[in-house]
Homo-oligomer: A and B are copies of this chain.
Amino acid sequence: MVVKSQLKYIKSLQQKKFRNTHNRFVAEGLKTVSELLGSGCKAETLMTTEVDLSQVSGQATQLISTKQMAQISSLKNPSRVLGVFEIPKPVEVQFSDWVLALDSIRDPGNLGTIIRLCDWFGIAHLLCSPDTVDAYNPKVLQATMGSIARVNLVYTDLLAILKSAPVPVYGAFMDGDSLYETKLPQNGILILGNEARGISKDVSALIGQKLGIPQYGQPTAESLNVATATAILLHEVRRA
């Protein structure tokens, strides 16, 4: 039996402050929930509206009504499965491979797409400035399509990391050196900045080389979206 207080608790996890208080987040959808379980994320509660999904990956799942699901879901069209998970503890960042760092990314869809890109391009560690949108925000989680289970997310002071970085530091800039003409090393830190303001001044000061994605033809389009820019940069990083 699901009690009202439990539904209220789950709904509260849509807000960052309650996620932090309880160290829990909510994932929706069979795919995302399955991928989190498959990656060893610890589920506190699994809920489903369908009897034949009452065993998700062998774990006991509470059967709830579609009305109850609608109450706790963040989605317009609630899914059949929802899980409450422990927020994974970040592991130590390894600089033996490329590391991606985000300076104040604010749009949940962009962060979700970037996490999905990290997964595709095998980027294991993603550093986020403390003012980057929370990765356990429901909108981010939806956009990651389950990839969040396979990327080590570290919210941290970028300046402290960059000051002692054991590898070269690159940043994406509108006026950076052409990606077509830059040979990238086997490892490094790649930084992308805020959607409107780009990389902050303090972080910029610690960047060794500015990289740019050459525009073609007339200079008309204002800029690339940060997620599409990340796609192109990671594609180049993996060319090496």
A interface residues, Cβ below 8 angstroms from B: 109, 113, 116-117, 119-122, 145-147, 150, 179-180, 213-218, 220-222, 224-225, 227-232, 235, 238-239
- The copy count of this chain in the complex is 2
A–B pairs, 19, beta carbons within 8 Å: A109-B109, A113-B228, A116-B225, A119-B220, A120-B216, A121-B215, A121-B217, A122-B215, A122-B217, A145-B222, A146-B222, A147-B221, A150-B220, A179-B235, A213-B235, A224-B231, A228-B230, A231-B231, A231-B232
Q: Which of B109, B120, B232, B235 contacts A221 (CB 8 A)?
A: B120
Q: Which of B109, B228, B238 contacts A117 (CB 8 A)?
A: B228
Interchain CB contact under 8 A, A216 and B121:
yes
Interchain CB contact under 8 A, B117 and A216:
no
